[in-house]
Structure 1
């Protein structure tokens, strides 16, 4: 839908509904103004930042006891 069609539709509405449409448009503008900026503005992620902060169990790849009945 192009801008002219939207304006034409709004102009055909009663005055009360036009005011309601204007309030809705204002709320949409406020909503989109408050949204965070895209990730383009963020610095690149640093590789290995959390190295050594997580420990994985030595038997991580071993089958779980709970699933022995299904294997």
Structure 2
């Protein structure tokens, strides 16, 4: 990782951004102490994980295996509230 002073970072910001865009990290120092780091943003597709396609058949089987609800969500929430369990 490269290290530059605040003054140098102000003078060469465009160059530093180009370096970061190429994958380098740049540490900015004030009085010899690190105060900031320039790095490329982490994007979801950079995580290395491939998205798996949705298995709709598996979801259908899961849904069909669930027992039907005897009341709608609004009635359930009102009952929970009124029974002081909420």
TM-score tier after normalising by the smaller chain length: 0.3 to 0.5
What is the TM-score with the length of structure 1 in the denominator?
0.32
Provide TM-score, normalisation by structure 2: 0.29
Higher helix share: 1
